[in-house]
Amino acid sequence: MAILSRRYKTCTVTLSYEWEETFQHRPPKENLQIILIEEGCVALRINQDRCYLQSGAILFLHDHVQVDRIYSYGLKAKSISFEPGFINMNLTMENIRSENFESVREQYGYPSFHLFLNWGMAYAGVLPLDHLAVSKASELMSMAIKQLDRRPDDYWPCRARVNLLELLQLAEREYMRLLGDNVVSTPLARNVLEYIHTNYDKDISMELLCERYHTNHTTLLKEFRLLTGMTVGQYILKYKLDLAKEALLFTSLNIDEIAQKCGFKQAAYFSRIFRRETGVPPGKFRSREVEQRIAAKGGFLSDVDIRLQEGEPGGNEWEETTESVS
């Protein structure tokens, strides 16, 4: 397990990763962990419960969970562990568990961590993925770990973070698909939605979707509207803009790179559409929201002032504290 850390004035943020997760090493304390089972199977004891997982499952674990491997066969898995502070320095395990986090999250655009923390009878940290989502999740995990592993330039924390945020968005959509109670949804509408979530960065036309799912424009539009309240084009645009907003809020990647990452072919087109939909250009949106977050200390009352210049790359300030362990 390779562990990276970054020291600030008042705290240290750590994260770790495994190209080949074997469940032999637990991540550092105060970390959240994502594990994607890509191939094979594994039997685990999660706290006191025995759990059997096959390829296509993703685990969201928090720091109070004990995981022990019982056996595995043909296992291929990847993992990323991180402190909430890796997303933004205002976030800690304490405040993401607080009762007011949901309202703060909505106000300042923080990602949701409920997949890690809110376990119950229907969901206990294990999320099965659709086959399309498995492929996309594997791609995002690989891109994030590659940045953590190679650190090619000072922007590697931003690129790792933006892929991690997109992975959380994808998982959130999968969670809603599996556990949602939308009675008006149909297999056609759900399949189209899944395709959009995993292919939004490619050209998607009504013709392509109709051919892929053996339907016609009228049926597709009617069923998709019943599920989402939008046309296919409107939904794709909203999804891409939501991803772009997170990239703007929590990284210092330039507008060109964010536009490309979120499926916009040209930065100028992205900026024009972003301004049309939000009322401000991307750069202004970023500076305004970050300034408000800094002024409010991230929305959390604390004796510790961690008002830092947000979004700075700072790649050279990260140190690898533990060598990879076989």
Kindly state whether residue 308 falls inside one of the protein's structural domains.
Answer: yes
The reported pLDDT for the residue numbered 184 is 58
**% of residues, the chain, pLDDT over 70:** 89
Give tens-digit pLDDT for 134-148: 999 999 999 999 999
> Is the pLDDT assigned to residue 321 strictly greater than 80?
no
Give the pLDDT band of residue 232 (cuts 50, 70, 90). Answer: very high
> Is the pLDDT assigned to residue 303 strictly greater than 50?
no
**Rounded-to-integer distance, Cα 109 and Cα 247, Å:** 11
Give the pLDDT band of residue 121 (cuts 50, 70, 90). Answer: confident
Total tally of structural domains belonging to the chain: 1
Kindly state whether residue 206 falls inside one of the protein's structural domains.
Answer: no
Instruction: Give the lowest-confidence range in 196-200, 217-221, 297-301.
Output: 297-301
> Nearest CA to 305 among 107, 90, 33, 158?
90
CATH of the domain at 238: 2.60.120.280
Look up tokens 């959009």; give the residue: 196
Give tens-digit pLDDT for 56-114: 999 999 999 999 999 999 999 999 999 999 999 899 999 999 999 999 999 999 999 99
Kindly state whether residue 119 falls inside one of the protein's structural domains.
Answer: yes
Kindly state whether residue 200 falls inside one of the protein's structural domains.
Answer: no
DSSP 202-256: S---HHHHHHHTT--HHHHHHHHHHHHSS-HHHHHHHHHHHHHHHHHHH----HH
**Rounded-to-integer distance, Cα 28 and Cα 104, Å:** 26
Query: What would the mean pLDDT of 284-294 be, rounded to a whole number?
Result: 92
DSSP 92-149: -HHHHTSTTHHHHHHHHTPPP-HHHH---SS-SSEEE--HHHHHHHHHHHHHHHHHHH
The reported pLDDT for the residue numbered 305 is 35
> Is the pLDDT assigned to residue 249 strictly greater than 60?
yes
Kindly state whether residue 203 falls inside one of the protein's structural domains.
Answer: no
Kindly state whether residue 217 falls inside one of the protein's structural domains.
Answer: no
Kindly state whether residue 307 falls inside one of the protein's structural domains.
Answer: yes
**pTM for this prediction:** 0.90
Look up the domain containing 168 and give its range.
2-180+230-319
Rg of the chain over all Cα atoms, to the nearest angstrom: 20
8 A C-beta contact, residue 156 and residue 315: yes
Give tens-digit pLDDT for 149-203: 999 999 999 999 999 999 999 999 999 888 775 555 788 999 999 999 999 999 9
8 A C-beta contact, residue 138 and residue 302: no
Kindly state whether residue 195 falls inside one of the protein's structural domains.
Answer: no
